[in-house]
Amino acid sequence: MIAAAKMPLIDDTYCLPSNLPNTPEMHSTTSSQTSHAISLTLFCKVVDNYGDIGICWRLARQLAHEHGVAVTLWVDDLASFRSICPEVDSSADVQDVQGIAVQHWRDQNGVFAAGDVADIVVEFFACDIPPGYIKAMSECAPRPVWLNLEGLTAETWVEGCHTLPSPHPQLPLTKYFFFPGFNRRTGGLQLESGLIAQREAFLADPRAASDFLAQFGVTETEMRALKVSLFCYPQAPIAALFAAWQASGQAVLCLVPEGVGGDAVTDFLGQPSTAGAHATRGALTVRVLPFVPQPDYDKLLWACDVNFVRGEDSFVRAQWAAKPFIWHIYPQDENLHHVKLKAFLSTSPAATPSLTALALAWNGATGDGIDIAALWRNMQADLPNIARLSMDWERVLLANGDLATNLLKFAETVPPRV
C-alpha cells in the first residue's frame, strides 16, 4: 500500500507556494500500465447535477481501464449518474459498472476496517469522507495516499498549491491537494489515451456526423446549417441568443439536452422541452436531445460547429473537441466565478476578442444592456480563426500529460508512512 508523509498544514482556501518537487517527469504524456496493481477509492458528492459525477466517472474509468487500478466509486446521487451512464441501477447500494465497484453513498455513517481502505483515497472537491473511513485509514500500515482532487481553474495561485500537504489535526494522516490545470505546474486535464484518434477518425468520415445526429431526428437539410450544441445554466441569456439566431442570414441548428435552458427553450418550442421536441422559427431550428452516455456526448461536440458548455466536465471535453466554444461557468457567491472565467479567457489563445466578449456577456460579467446579437455576429465571423487557434491550444494541453497518469505518478512519489 502506498502511504503519505507528514508535512506542514495548509488551509483549504489559501496556501503558500509549494516547495515539493513537481518535475516534468510527473507529466508523462503516455498512459502506460502502472508497475503494480493498486486500489483506489474515489468519493463523489454531486453538487452540479452532471459535472461532478461526469468528472469522477471519467476518472474512474480511465484509472481502471488504462492503468489497471481496482477502483471503487462512492457517489451520493445515482439518478444523475444514470443520466450519463444508463447501465447504472439507481436503486442499488452496491453494483459493478464497467468493471468499477460503485457504492451508493447514503450518509456519513458506517463502520470500516483497515482492510476496507484502498491504497489511494481521493475525495473530489473537498467532500467530507465518512469519519469511520478516515479512522480506518489511520489504522492502516502503511497508510494510504490521501488526495483532495480540486476543481479546475486557470488562476495562477493553484500552481503554488498543487501537491501541497495538509496533516489531519488529530490522526496520523496527511492529505495532499491535487489540482487539474492547464500547464506543467498543475495536474493537467482528463484525457483518455485514444480520444484524439477517435475524434480524428470521426471527423474524417464524411457520414459520421450525419449518421450520429440522425438518431435524434436531424435531417440532411439541417446538417447544412451551422450546428450548435447548447448546455448551460438557466440564467444564461438564451432568449436573446435565440432571437439573434432566428434573424440570422444563415440557418442555425441548436441541439439542447432535455431539461436544459428552462423557460427560454420551452417558450421557443411552444411545448415542454422533452427529448424529441423540435421547432423552427426564422433561421433557427431547436431540437431537444435526451441525455446521452459520455462517449456520445463527445461525438455531439465533434459533430457541431460551436459548443456552449457548462461547469467543468463538458468544459474540458469541449477543449478536446477543438471546436469554438463558450463556457458557462458554475455561479459562485460574490461573482467569484467571473475571476475564474477571466483567468481562463486570458490563458487560452483560442479566446479571441470576439469570443471573449460573448463569453463575458453569456456569464453576466459585463453588466446590462449588452447586445448579444451583435456579439454573436462578431464571433460567427471569427469562427475559422477560433477553430485554428483551438488546435494550437490543444497542442499546449497535450504537452502537460493527462490527469489520471499525473495523479498516479504523484502518488508513487509520496514516501510510505507506517
Distance, in Å, from the CA atom of 404 to the CA atom of 180, rounded to the nearest integer, reads: 10
Contact at 8 Å (CB) between 62 and 70? no
- Please name the amino acid found at residue 20: L
The catalytically annotated residue of 119, 150, 312, 402 is: 312
3 state SS for 96-155? EECCEEEEECCCCCCCCCHHHCCCEEEEECCCCCCHHHHHHHHCCCCCCEEEEECCCCCC
Q: Which residues pair with 70 in a beta bridge?
A: 39
The catalytically annotated residue of 52, 77, 123, 402 is: 52
Q: Does residue 150 carry a catalytic annotation? A: no
What 3-state DSSP class applies to 252? strand
Q: Does residue 52 carry a catalytic annotation? A: yes
Q: Are strands 100-104 and 94-97 parallel, antiparallel or unpaired?
A: antiparallel
Task: Give the up-direction half-sphere exposure of residue 141: CA atoms within 13 A in the CB hemisphere.
Answer: 2
Residues whose CB is less than 8 angstroms from the CB of residue 62 and which lie 6 or more positions away in sequence, other chains included: 31, 190, 192, 402, 404
The owner of cell 483551438 is 390
What 3-state DSSP class applies to 282? coil
Distance, in Å, from the CA atom of 21 to the CA atom of 99, rounded to the nearest integer, reads: 34
**Active site positions, annotated:** 52, 312
